[in-house]
Structure 1
Amino acid sequence: MATYFRDYANLCFEAFGDRVKHWITFSDPRAHAQAWHSYDTSWRRRQQGLVGISLNCAWGEPVDISNPKDVDAAERYLQFCLGWFANPIYAGDYPQVMKDSIGRKSAEQGLGLSRLPVFSRQEKNFIKGSSDFLGLGHFTTLYIMDRNSPSRHGPSYKNDRDLVELADPEWPKLGSTWLHSVPWGLRRLLNFAQTQYGDPPIYVTENGASQKFQCTQLCDEWRIRYLQSYINEMLKEPLRGHMQMVTEIVTPTACTLCVLLAAVLLMLLLQKHS
């Protein structure tokens, strides 16, 4: 199927590449790397386009930020959600927390090998770096806490994570039962992706709110508020920008002050000896 998808992608590049300059291979990825390498090898030079991927993830916020177990659980949530596909693209392998967790669960279930597939060295090299930008879909946020009791259910993606998902009852509810308006989660997810994957170009490819109630006329002021609040969070200066400012401005300023202070001390010493 991966080969068939590569052939389909090549057909699209050939037919539309003179006009389409931004390509998203998948919203739910499978054969992404083959399509990217095909474009990079055969089409990029003449078409001058970009090929990326779109990954969807909610933000996971620890219930208790002072509890290391909840902090670790929130990290597991993000790595199982976003890192599952992004980490192989940007780091060449599945997140370590996924390998550890699923490997441990597999051993407990009496399996000789982890249920998580293992990339060969050739596959790692082939997948790593295969994206010109990161598309990010995001709709809502969840509070995450560590699950302190074993699951009674069998092996599954959800059970491998060993965590509990919660929603704040104060968060505004929207048309879908799982969807709440939590704008600050988008900014935190963007910051996470920016720092986790080496500051790639990021496009918010999915965001929005399902219908809240039936109307005979236009009545989507609540949707306008949702979009406005999420866009405002996206437009705020990211935390990484502050870190860059510290590096580029504060550090040189501190160095300058140290030099000036040393010069003053030297002058005082010379005056004393004279």
Structure 2
Amino acid sequence: MVNHFNEFANLCFERFGNRVKYWITFNNPWAHAKVWHTYDTQWRAKQKGQVGISLSGDWGEPVDISNQKDIEAAERYVQFYLGWFATPVFHGDYPQVMKDFIGRKSVQQGLGTSRLPTFSPQEKSYIKGTCDFLGIGHFTTRYITQKNNPSGRSSSSYFTDRDLAELVDPRWPDPGSEWLYSVPWGFRRLLNFVKTQYGNPAIYVTENGVSEKMLCTELCDDWRIQYFKDYINEMLKDPLTSHMEMVTEIVVPTVCTLSILLSAIFLMFLLRRRN
């Protein structure tokens, strides 16, 4: 499968590389590094483009910031979510906390080796650094606490391996989707996490948005406007000024497009009233 995808990507580089300068291998991934190397060795010098990956990541905040177990549980939440793929891409291996917890659970289940695959030294070297920019899809945040009753030995899944519980604050604005709450400050904390964990990479916000629980027949999008405003404001705060390209390359074109769309709708409304 990796080789087939690499051939497909190579064809895309060949046919469209003179016009396309930013490539995302996967939006939420399962294979990536080989394509980055293909572009790096065969196309980068002549096309001057960049290859990145887009990962989903919600923020996990400790329920009690003075409780070390809650702090560690929140760290696991983010590492098992975003770090699962970002850490190998930037550092060449899975997050240490994933290796520790899954390894320990595997031993408890009587397995001879960890259920988490092991990278060889050659694979670590091949994967590490295969990211010119990081795309992030972010929507919401959870409060995280250590589970009081750890899962039994026989249970083995992504969720039981993390050994944590997710909570929400009932005061958080509820947009209508049971999983999506507006928590702008969590977005900023996730961006700072990426900055410190992965060496301040260039970031492109590839997914962000909110549902609307209210049904209406007219233009009534105040809630969504507020969501975008709050999240963009968190993105723009210092010390992330080195990533102002996110504003000029993503936010500004998006705002311009929305302005044009709203103007067109308003014009159609006026013409309809005139007729």
Return the alpha-carbon distance in structure 1 between the equivalents of residues 177 and 32 of structure 2: 30
Return the alpha-carbon distance in structure 2 between the equivalents of residues 55 and 203 of structure 1: 10
- Aligned residue pairs, count: 241
Q: Which runs of 4+ in 1 moved over 6 A?
A: none
Indicate if the aligned counterparts of 1:6 and 1:31 stay in contact, CA closer than 8 A. Answer: no
Identity of aligned residues (%): 67
Indicate if the aligned counterparts of 2:58 and 2:142 stay in contact, CA closer than 8 A. Answer: yes
SS at match of 1:88: helix
The unaligned stretches of length 5 or more in structure 2 are 243-275
Q: What amino acid maps onto 2:109 in structure 1?
A: Q
Q: What amino acid maps onto 1:69 in structure 2?
A: K
1:211 is displaced (CA, Å) by: 2.6
- Give the stretch that moved more between structures: 174-183 or 152-161: 152-161
1:114 is displaced (CA, Å) by: 0.4
TM-score, structure 1 as length reference = 0.86
1:108 is displaced (CA, Å) by: 0.4
- Aligned partner of 2:209 in structure 1 is 208
SS at match of 1:144: strand
- Aligned partner of 2:236 in structure 1 is 235
Return the alpha-carbon distance in structure 1 between the equivalents of residues 22 and 238 of structure 2: 25
Distance 1:240 1:101, change over 3 A: farther
SS at match of 1:135: strand
The unaligned stretches of length 5 or more in structure 1 are 242-274
SS at match of 1:61: strand
Mapped pair 1:100 → 2:100? yes
Indicate if the aligned counterparts of 2:212 and 2:223 stay in contact, CA closer than 8 A. Answer: no
SS at match of 1:26: strand
Superposed, 1:22-171 pairs within 5 Å as 22-152=22-152, 154-171=155-172
Return the alpha-carbon distance in structure 2 between the equivalents of residues 209 and 132 of structure 1: 28
- Aligned partner of 1:247 in structure 2 is none
CA RMSD, Structure 1 to Structure 2 (Å): 1.3
Q: What amino acid maps onto 1:56 in structure 2?
A: S
Indicate if the aligned counterparts of 2:61 and 2:142 stay in contact, CA closer than 8 A. Answer: yes
- Aligned partner of 1:248 in structure 2 is none
Indicate if the aligned counterparts of 1:137 and 1:204 stay in contact, CA closer than 8 A. Answer: yes
**Cα distance per residue 1:10-32 (max 9 Å; x no partner):** 01111111111001111121221
Q: What amino acid maps onto 2:236 in structure 1?
A: L
- Aligned partner of 2:17 in structure 1 is 17
Distance 1:201 1:211, change over 3 A: same
Return the alpha-carbon distance in structure 2 between the equivalents of residues 111 and 167 of structure 1: 35
Q: What amino acid maps onto 2:177 in structure 1?
A: S
Q: What amino acid maps onto 1:112 in structure 2?
A: G
- Aligned partner of 1:271 in structure 2 is none
1:165 is displaced (CA, Å) by: 0.3
**Cα distance per residue 1:133-154 (max 9 Å; x no partner):** 1111100000000112122572
**Cα distance per residue 1:72-102 (max 9 Å; x no partner):** 0001111101110011011110000000000
Superposed, 1:262-273 pairs within 5 Å as none
Return the alpha-carbon distance in structure 2 between the equivalents of residues 126 and 210 of structure 1: 40
Return the alpha-carbon distance in structure 2 between the equivalents of residues 69 and 205 of structure 1: 32
1:47 is displaced (CA, Å) by: 0.4
Superposed, 1:1-12 pairs within 5 Å as 1-12=1-12
Q: What amino acid maps onto 1:10 in structure 2?
A: N
**Cα distance per residue 1:3-50 (max 9 Å; x no partner):** 111011001111111111001111121221011000001000110000
- Aligned partner of 2:195 in structure 1 is 194
Return the alpha-carbon distance in structure 2 between the equivalents of residues 192 and 240 of structure 1: 15
1:239 is displaced (CA, Å) by: 7.2
**Cα distance per residue 1:132-190 (max 9 Å; x no partner):** 01111100000000112122572100110010000000000013100000000000000
Q: What amino acid maps onto 1:94 in structure 2?
A: Y
1:117 is displaced (CA, Å) by: 0.3
- Aligned partner of 2:174 in structure 1 is 173
Distance 1:155 1:30, change over 3 A: same
Return the alpha-carbon distance in structure 1 between the equivalents of residues 214 and 7 of structure 2: 43
Return the alpha-carbon distance in structure 1 between the equivalents of residues 44 and 212 of structure 2: 40
1:240 is displaced (CA, Å) by: 9.4
Return the alpha-carbon distance in structure 2 between the equivalents of residues 53 and 121 of structure 1: 22
SS at match of 2:118: coil
